[in-house]
Amino acid sequence: MTRDVTVTLFERLHAHRHLVAEAYHQGAVLRTDDNRKAIEILQQQRVFVPHSPDEYRLHSSLRRFLASAFSSHRILQSSGDIGAIFAHLEKLTDFYIAAFNEDDQAATDSYEDEISQTVFEINDSLQGFITNLQANIETRFAAVTSLAAKKLQNEFYLAATHTLVQVLESFHLSDLLERIQAFPRIETLLRTQLFARIPVFRSTLQTIYETLRQFLFEFRKIEARAKRIQQMWLFLKKTPDYEPRAWDNASDLPAWLERSPGLPIATHPDVSDTACEDTLVELAQSIKADQSPRKRREAGALTAEEVPAKVIVKVPAHVLALRQMLKDAKASEAPVSVRQWRAQRATELELDDTLWLELALDVLAKKTSITKGLEVGYNEHSREGPFSTGNILIKDLSLWKSA
C-alpha cells in the first residue's frame, strides 16, 4: 500500500514548523547553510516560494489559511475574488450539464467535485471577508493610525461591501436552481449550502454597510476638529512664549469670546445642614394652603347595553359537500373515490375535478377532528426519467375508515 501523500506533507510541515512560523510572522526567511535543505523540501511541497534571490516566503494560499485560522485581519481584503468565484461556479454548472448531455460520466464526476469545492470555497470566502470586516469595524481600523488611512480603509470597504451585496442579490435571483432541477445532488448542494445562506450573508453585509456609512460621517467630523487642533498646534509651535490673556478685568470683550454661551449654574439648599433648618421652616410656613374649591363627583348611572345583532355564518356549499363525503367514507365498507363521489353526489357544484381534488387535499392536510379515523390512498401518474421534476401528479384519491 502506497503511503498517503497528505501524511507526508503534514509530517514535513511539523518537522519544519519553526521555519514556517518564522516565514509567517516575519514575511520571509533568509536562506542559510543551516536551513537550505529544509527550504528546498518545503519549496518542493509548494509551501515556500521565492521572494528574492536569497529569501523565501509562504505560498499565498497557505498564508490565507493561517490568517483565517488565527482570526488575523488584513488591512485591505478585496471582495472581487468572491465575485469571480461566483462566475466560475456558473461556468462549472454549464460544463456539468453539457457533459451530462454528452453522456461523459468521467467529466460529469469531475465537474461535480469541482462544483462542491467551489460552493464550500464561496462559503469560506464570504465568512472570512465578513469576519475580517467585523474585526476592523470593532477596532475602528486600529491597524492604521492616521485619520487619512482610516478614511481610505472605510471608503474601500464601503465600496467592496456594496459590490458584494449586489453580487449576492444577482446570484440569488438567477435561474441556476431551475437549470439544475434534473440533477438532485447538485441542486440539493447548492440550495442547502449556498442559496439558503445567502439571505443571512446579505443581511449581515447590509448591517455592516450602514455602519461603514456612519463611520464615514464621523470621520468627516473628526477631520474638521483635527484641522482646528492642528492649526492650534502649529500656532503654539511658532510662538512658544504665547500666554492666554486674562480677560477677567477687561471692559471690552472680543466678539469671539462673547459667542460663548457661558456655564449654566443652578443652586439648591442643603437640607442636611442644620444651619439652614430655621430658614427652611420659614419657607415651608410661608406657603399657603390650597384654598381652591373642590368639585364633588356626581354619581354615575347604569346604561343599558344594546343586544348585539345575531350573526349568521353561511357555510359554503363545497365545504358542506366535503364534510358529507368524509362522513360517507367513514360509514362505507369499501373505499370511496373522491372524483366518483363528486360526480354522483355533488353535481350542482360548479367545480372541475382538479379544483375538487385540491380542496379535498387541503382538508385532509389540516388533520382536523372530522378527518380523524380516515385512511387516504393516492392514485398517481407515473413520471420517471432523468429530467423528472419530482412533483407527484395525482389523478384521484380513495378514502376509507381506519381499521
Average pLDDT over residues 157-181: 84
Q: In the chain, where are the structural domains located?
A: 5-63, 80-229, 317-401
Pair 256, 250: CB distance under 8 Å: no
Q: What is the model's pLDDT at position 2? A: 47
Average pLDDT over residues 175-192: 84
Q: How confident is the model at residue 293 (pLDDT cuts 50, 70, 90)?
A: confident
For residue 57, give the 3-state DSSP assignment. strand
- Of residues 299 and 192, more confidence is placed in 192
Q: What is the model's pLDDT at position 234? A: 92
Q: Does the pLDDT value for residue 388 go beyond 70? A: no
Looking at this protein, which amino acid is placed at residue 300?
A: G
Question: How many other CB atoms sit within 10 Å of the CB of residue 136?
Answer: 25
Question: For residues 225 and 218, what is the distance between their CA atoms, to the nearest angstrom?
Answer: 11
Q: Does the pLDDT value for residue 290 go beyond 60? A: yes
Start-to-end C-alpha separation, the chain: 60
- Of residues 269 and 390, more confidence is placed in 269
What percentage of the chain reaches a pLDDT higher than 90?
Answer: 1
Q: Is 24 exposed, middle or buried (0-12, 13-18, 19+ CB in 10 A)?
A: middle
Pair 329, 400: CB distance under 8 Å: yes
Q: What is the model's pLDDT at position 385? A: 52
Q: How confident is the model at residue 382 (pLDDT cuts 50, 70, 90)?
A: low
Q: What is the model's pLDDT at position 220? A: 79
| DSSP-derived pairing of the beta strands 336-337 and 48-52 | unpaired
Contacts of 93 (CB under 8 A, 6+ apart): 115, 176, 179, 180, 186
Give one DSSP letter per residue of 83-127, joined into a string: HHHHHHHHHHHHHHHHHHHTT-HHHHHHHHHHHHHHHHHHHHHHH
Q: How confident is the model at residue 69 (pLDDT cuts 50, 70, 90)?
A: low
Q: What is the average pLDDT value for the chain, to the nearest integer?
A: 81
The 8-class DSSP code of residue 29 comes to: E
For residue 334, give the 3-state DSSP assignment. coil
Range in 65-79, 217-231, 317-331 with the lowest mean pLDDT: 65-79
Pair 204, 168: CB distance under 8 Å: no
Phi, psi of 377 (to 5 degrees): -115, 140
Q: How confident is the model at residue 71 (pLDDT cuts 50, 70, 90)?
A: low
- Of residues 237 and 306, more confidence is placed in 237
Per-residue buried b or exposed e for 206-243, using 16+ beta carbons within 10 Å of the residue's own CB: eebbebbeebeeebeeeeeeeeeeeeeeeeeeeeeeee
Question: For residues 19 and 41, what is the distance between their CA atoms, to the nearest angstrom?
Answer: 12
Give the torsion sign (CA, 21, 24, 26, 27): positive
Average pLDDT over residues 232-246: 87
Average pLDDT over residues 45-66: 80
Range in 129-138, 153-162, 258-267 with the lowest mean pLDDT: 258-267
Q: What is the model's pLDDT at position 73? A: 47
Question: For residues 38 and 99, what is the distance between their CA atoms, to the nearest angstrom?
Answer: 44
Using alpha carbons, select from 205, 219, 218 the residue that is nearest to residue 129.
Answer: 205
Q: Residue for cell digits 518542493?
A: 44
Detail the DSSP E strand segments found in 201-332.
Answer: none
